[in-house]
């Protein structure tokens, strides 16, 4: 799962918690996604000019009382991690990700989009949106890890004999192995080992969900296809909750 929002949340929280310096945090984020610009057109909830570089934007946000970054990983029909209003939710659901930024007097949502200019420049632009002043309903890390494990067992049982997902076919095994070759941890300094473990497990299973997404199960009956779709949707929800819980578990 190649998320743009996750590195900003992980390294932003590590910086706010004093585990890394600003330059290290910005460098870590931009190594993954290229240059990041915050405060894009159309104007959003932040008093920025269009396209403020990430380093300068973080300094300005700190001056506005920035205290925490929160990851949102919504899906259609499941606005997980979001708090409204509708404009923010719609944008984040379409992007399938977003970040909630807690400031001194308000909360703001940031939604990423690919920023491509010409043939060589690839980066990220973040559009800010007003966010409701509410906390998202997020499970704690032990609960999210437990749900992920139970869901995986249940999904494997549901798909027993349906198609190759039940046994994680050789192609899926190869994909899981490939994930371990990057050598790049999902989380930053300051996250506990359990959070690193859960994030890594969730990313592996997100890859499985993507490889086995509906439409790839050819030759299935209508009943089998429905079981498969429901099982993968359940696993996807557990994966997204585990990733968000892991990114919330910074040691302060």
Q: How far apart are alpha carbons 119 and 129 in whole angstroms?
A: 29
How far is residue 9's CA from residue 16's CA, in Å, rounded to a whole number?
Answer: 10
Say what the pLDDT of residue 167 is.
44
DSSP string over 192-249: -HHHHHHHHHHHHHHHHHHHT-TT--TT--HHHHHHHHHHHHHHHHHHHHHHHHHHH-
pLDDT score for 110 = 97
Please state, rounded to an integer, the average pLDDT across all residues of the chain: 87
Please enumerate in sequence order all residues whose Cβ is within 8 A of that of 11, keeping only pairs 6 or more positions apart, or say none: 20, 24, 25, 26, 28, 29, 188
Report helix, strand and coil shares of the chain as percent, to nearest 5.
45, 15, 40
For the CA atoms of 55, 57, 59, 61, what is the dihedral angle to 10 degrees?
A: -150
Summarised one tens digit per residue, pLDDT across range 151-191 is 988 887 777 766 554 444 444 445 455 544 444 578 999 99
pLDDT of residue 162: 62
User: So what's the pLDDT on residue 215?
Assistant: 53
With cut-offs at 50, 70 and 90, classify the pLDDT of residue 213.
Answer: low
- Beta bridge partners, 71, equal 99
Q: Do residues 246 and 141 touch, judged by C-beta distance below 8 A?
A: yes
């Amino acid at each position: 799962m190649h998320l743009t929002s996750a590195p900003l949340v992980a390294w932003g929280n590590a910086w706010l918690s004093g585990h890394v310096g600003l330059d290290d945090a910005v460098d870590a984020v931009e190594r993954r996604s290229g240059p990041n610009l915050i405060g894009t057109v159309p104007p959003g909830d932040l008093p920025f000019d269009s396209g403020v570089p990430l380093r300068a934007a973080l300094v300005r946000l700190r001056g506005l009382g920035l205290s925490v970054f929160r990851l949102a990983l919504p899906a259609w029909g499941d606005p997980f991690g979001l708090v409204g209003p509708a404009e923010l939710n719609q944008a984040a659901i379409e992007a399938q990700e977003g970040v909630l930024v807690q400031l001194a007097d308000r909360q703001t949502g940031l939604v990423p989009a690919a920023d491509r200019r010409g043939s060589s420049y690839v980066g990220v632009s973040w559009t800010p949106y007003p966010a409701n002043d509410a906390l998202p309903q997020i499970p704690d890390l032990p609960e999210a890890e437990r749900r992920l494990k139970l869901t995986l067992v249940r999904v494997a049982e549901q798909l027993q004999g349906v198609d190759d997902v039940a046994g994680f076919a050789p192609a899926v095994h190869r994909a899981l192995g490939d994930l371990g070759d990057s050598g790049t941890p999902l989380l930053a300094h300051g996250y506990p080992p359990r959070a690193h473990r859960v994030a890594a497990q969730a990313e592996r299973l997100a890859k499985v969900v993507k490889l086995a997404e509906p439409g790839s199960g050819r030759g299935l009956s209508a009943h089998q296809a429905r079981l498969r779709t429901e099982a993968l949707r359940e696993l996807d929800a557990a994966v997204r909750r585990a990733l968000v819980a892991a990114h919330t578990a910074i040691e302060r």
